[in-house]
Amino acid sequence: MELTRKEMRQHTLDEFKYVRTCVLARELCLLVRSKRAFLNAEDVRRFCSSIASLCREAGCRETSDLCTEAAEAVLEDEKRHLELCQQSCTLCPEGRFPAENRAERAPYIT
């Protein structure tokens, strides 16, 4: 019984980390993209940098690097920024699976 409790604890901790990093990053990214018309370039740069940090913490280095690059590109070239955002979203594991399968994917981020 103790082993099951330890396994469930670890599963819960992993799921918490996943929601705190991947799910939050994805939701924030979607919010920024959908409200882009109301934000200025500096807002977007700041938000994309925060999202990149969440991705890096989750272990998604390539996605994080693209978000970081997009954060810098928004100040100079909006078209490039949007291309980088699209690439980042394509790589994001959170965007590849339906929300109902999140609990099954929690161990993926360990």
pLDDT along the chain (110 residues), means of 10: 84 94 92 93 96 93 94 93 89 60 44
| H/E segment holding residue 23 | none
CA 109 → CA 14, 73, 85, 86, 93, distances in Å? 7, 28, 22, 22, 10
Predicted TM-score (pTM) of this structure: 0.77
* Per-residue model confidence (pLDDT) at position 95: 58
* Per-residue model confidence (pLDDT) at position 81: 92
* Per-residue model confidence (pLDDT) at position 105: 47
Domain of residue 59: give its range.
2-109
Instruction: Specify the number of domains making up the chain.
Output: 1
Residue 69 DSSP code: H
